[in-house]
Amino acid sequence: MDAVVFGGWNDTRQTQLPLVCWFEDCRKDSIPLVGGKCASLGELIHAGVRVPPGFALTTEGYRAFMADSGMEREVELLLKEIDCRDLEALERASASIRAAIEAQPFSNELEDVVAESYRQLSLRCGVPAVPVAVRSSATAEDLPGASFAGQQDTYLWIRGVDEVLDHMRRCISSLYTGRAIAYRANHGFSNEQVAISVGVQKMANSFTAGVMFTIHPANGDRSVIVIDSNFGFGESVVSGEVTPDHFVVNKVTLDIIDRTISKKEICYTVDLQDQVSRAIEVPFERQTIQSLIDDDITQLAWMGKQIEQHYGRPMDIEWAVDKDLPTGGNIFILQARPETVWSSKKTAPVSSPGTSAMDYILAGMLAGRKVK
C-alpha cells in the first residue's frame, strides 16, 4: 500500500489514508502520517543508508483506534479540567488514560492489517516471528526547536503478532504520560495537535550499539563526530545506565583524535530462554575492553557525515553493529534526528584553540603525518 504524505482524507482522490505504511514509502515530509522517527527512517532509506526494514502503524491507524474504542472522547473529558501544575492530579489522570488505552482491543480491520504486515516483514527477513523493536513516533517529536524525543516508549526484542499489538497499545498510551501531557501544555501544543505513529522495525542483534553526534554535544564543535558505545543493545547508552566508551573523530580525516574506554558493568541483550531483552552483567574480563573496533568507528563516522550532508544540519543518531552479519555490512542506523541543543544557539560554539578540522590537518602535515 503506497504511503500518502498528509493525515486525514485526501481531497483530490477522496480516499482514506493507509493504516499501515512501510518505511521505504515514507520520506522526511511524511511526519503528519508516521511521526518524526518513522519519517526519518524512510528518508534514510532513500538516502542509501543501511536501515533495518519495518513498517509503521500510521497516525490514521492511531486515530481509528482511539475513535473506535471511544478513547478519544474519554481522554478529552479526563484532561479537560486538569491543571498541569497539579502534579498529583496530572499523574492520576495519566494513569487512568494509560490503563484504559492498554485495555482496549484493536478493531478486526486494524488487527488484520498489522498482522499481515508483520507476517510480510518476517518473510522479508527470512525469520519466523522476526524479533522487532516497537518504537513510538509522535508527530511533534524530533522536530527542530522541540524536544519531544524520548517522551514516548520503545520496546526491544518483541516476537509474535499478539506481543506486537500489545506493545503498540503501550506505545500509544505513552503519549499520555504525565510528563508528555505537561510538556505539550507548557509549550503550547494541544493534545489534539499531537498524534502518534508506532514503528515496528527488525531488531538488530547487536554486538555493540550506541549513539553518535555529528557535532560535539559538550561544546558544539562542528569539526568532530562523537560516538558513544557499549556491548549489546543501545538501551544502556541511551538511558544513561552505563558510562559508555567515548570516541571523538575528526570529521574531515576520520582519524580518532580522542578515546576513553570506560568500565562497562552492564549491557542489554536477549535472553535466549524466554526471548526477552534484559540487562545482564558484563563479564569482568570484558568490562574495560574497547566495545567498538577502530574500523567500525571510522565507518560509523563516515556514515554520520553522509547523514549530516543529506539533512544539511548536525544530527543525533542511534546505531548498532549486528553480530549475525559479516563485517562490512553489519552496521545499521536505527534512527536519526536533528540535534536540537547547539544547533539552535545563535552564539558561536565554544571549543578549545587548535581543535578545528583545518588546525588538525595542518598540525598533522607539520608533524609529517599522512593526511588521508
Each domain of the chain, given as residue ranges in start order, spans: 9-202, 206-366
Which of the two residues, 359 and 253, has the higher pLDDT score?
253
164 pLDDT more than 80: yes
Tell me what pLDDT residue 228 has: 98
- Is the pLDDT confidence value at 350 over 70? no
* Average pLDDT of the residues of the chain: 87
CB atoms within 10 A of CB 21: 29
Of 340 and 157, the structure prediction assigns the larger pLDDT to 157
Select the more confidently predicted residue: 158 or 341: 158
* Residue 143 φ/ψ, nearest 5 degrees: -90, 140
Percent of the chain with pLDDT over 70: 84
The structural architecture, per CATH, of the domain 9-202 is 2-Layer Sandwich (3.30)
pLDDT for position 365: 52
- Indicate the residue type of 215: I
User: Is residue 265's pLDDT more than 50?
Assistant: yes
Residue 148: partners with Cβ closer than 8 Å, 6 or more residues away: 36, 138, 140, 141, 142, 180, 183, 194
- In this predicted structure, the answer to whether residue 1 has a pLDDT above a threshold of 60 is no
Q: E-strand spans in the chain?
A: 9-10, 15-16, 20-22, 54-57, 132-138, 154-158, 196-202, 206-213, 224-231, 245-250, 256-260, 266-271, 276-281, 315-322, 331-338
| Range among 81-90, 95-104, 272-281 with highest mean pLDDT value | 95-104
pLDDT of residue 108: 97
User: In this predicted structure, what is the pLDDT of residue 361?
Assistant: 55
The pLDDT value given to residue 214: 97
pTM, to two decimals: 0.84
Residue-wise pLDDT for 217-258, tens only, equals 999 999 999 999 999 999 999 999 999 999 999 999 999 999
Cα–Cα distance list, 365 to 258, 352, 353 (Å): 19, 20, 18
**Is the pLDDT assigned to residue 370 strictly greater than 80?**
no
Output phi, psi for 369, to 5 deg: -85, 140
Residues 6+ apart with CB under 8 A from 136: 35, 37, 152, 153, 154, 171, 172, 174, 175, 196, 197, 198, 199
Q: Which of 223, 249, 240, 242 is nearest to 342 (CA)?
A: 223
Task: Identify the CATH assignment for 206-366 out of 2.60.120.260, 3.10.180.10, 3.30.470.20, 3.30.420.40.
Answer: 3.30.470.20
